[in-house]
Chain A
Amino acid sequence: MTGLLGLWHYWMIIALMMVGLYIVIARDNLVKKIMGLNIFQTSVILFYVALAKVEGGTAPIIPEGAEHVVYSNPLPHVLMLTAIVVGVATTALGLALCVRIQEAYGSNEEDEIVRMDVEGLARRGDRAESAPHADDVPPEEVPA
């Protein structure tokens, strides 16, 4: 029993992870996907923090003249600092892409975008990447 409930924080983390993953898979809105991605990453960050915790441990700063202080493992926190930076960068980049997709397609819904692309294919056979067309390239993208 304790074997399962004793690890309740892992259950929380897994639940969070699945929520995030589900959003990424199930939502059509690109921004919402990014949000899901964030939740997903956060769950892993929490996982690291959780495994760093030592029962009754304090912050890993040894006061003057205190001997054998019990403190939590600082390393995972350091690692997560980096992971958070990565997360921030990913989110920023993802949202930037969302903005430009919004400008290029006038929509942020995946299904609509896919439909437009299919129509584009039907119209002139998938040349988007090579021959820029008025409706293909947002105005400020046309090379100067």
Chain B
Amino acid sequence: MTPEFAIGLSVLLPVVGMLGVLLIGERNPDAREGVTLVTTVLTLGTVLQILPGVQAGEQPGLEVLEVLPGLVLAFEVEPLGMLFALVASGLWVVTSLYAIGYMRGHHEINQTRFFACFAAAISAALGIAYARNLFTLFVFYEILTFSTFPLVTHAGTEKAKKAGRTYLGILVFTSVVFLMFGIVWTANVAGTLEFAKGGILAGKISGWRLYVLLGLFAFGTGKAALMPFHRWLPAAMVAPTPVSALLHAVAVVKAGVFTVLKVVVYVFGIDLLADTGASQWLMAVAAFTILSSSLVALTKDNLKARLAYSTIGQLSYIVLGAAMATSAGVLGGGMHIAMHAVGKITLFFVAGAIMVGAHKSEISTMDGLGRRMPWTYSAYLIGSLSIIGLPPLGGSWSKWTLLMGAAEGEHWIYMVVLLISSLLAIGYLMPVFVRGFFLPEKHDDHHDDHHGDHHAEPHEPLLCVLPPVLTAVGCVLLFVYAENLYDMLAPIVAVKGG
């Protein structure tokens, strides 16, 4: 099929799947899950159809409709978007496998709504990935926000509702007040919203306005969880683990940093930022976010909360890379999208597996669990090492490239920041593993699972173990094939200035 067709199809397929899920509903869960899995595989397949063309350097596009003069809903796949689309759709397959095991093992309610909204979210994420202009990106960005809201408030408890308010409050506030303001402003200053190599704002805006505009975009993409607009991410952890895994480690948060990267590369243009130094302060904010969030992560006993804060820090790596406004920095950021995604989703899978298998969510109660759940814990080890950035795992490459970027821009201090944060990562990720294997098992197992039936014997249901193992393998593969990734991304900064 032609890439143009594939683009449209891959955005539509999840919607079709969603409708299928809704039609089948609770009547026949097996058929419903069947539909979900088929959809995920088909979507990944269509996305892969686009890949060769993009690797060959062409940028297939698709124009949907013109909403207002100058506001066009249109898609165009460039390397960065291709990468994001691959990550989202690829991990969706794994996650839905996992979700089925998790939701059933956990006896969750409203599973139909869950899978339906999930599909909608993926469709939105793909839309963001393909966006040809800021307007399209913004449209799907908002769709993503609203389609994930029911997932966050899934439990329907008071806690979930409160979290939902925080989630929606911060994301909508930032996107409407800052991001949309920035977009309208850009439209009126640059006269266009189309992404273009080397940016569209060069020479159009200067002085304090440039700083303000950059701020509007940086803080406007609340999904990038840049402090002080990061609160929604820990709050969103009340959602079922598959949601946290795919959406709040991959789709949603990556949509945020992806937006930041796109804006920096295709709207401002790294030359403009490098020359004016308008993004210096953004680097500082990102660095601060990295360090403080890592420190907070150290204090969290709830595994998911700890992972959430680690995510915040890792996201700021990418923002930092973008803010460096150096080609290596941008590439490093781009690669980190993939590397961190695969690594972090592994960790979330593990967290969920522990919750299903042993009904434990607090790290302090997980002593000695590793010997009973060896596969799960091995996956955890690999994932965390990748996040920390040790070879032979994918994470090492992106972190290396980011360091190169810092060096290229002579931002020595930020090199230090990156290294310190790696140490902190060791600090907050390793204890789980260490406790799991080297501490004696506590038997006064106090655990806060709100599901009456907990099996005395921790077990590893297949559907909950296979996915983390797969993604762990993914981490290794990414180390081996990082070259291809780099080559694919290289063009986005190849033609500097445009």
A and B touching (Cβ–Cβ under 8 A)? no
Q: A-side interface residues toward B, CB under 8 Å?
A: none
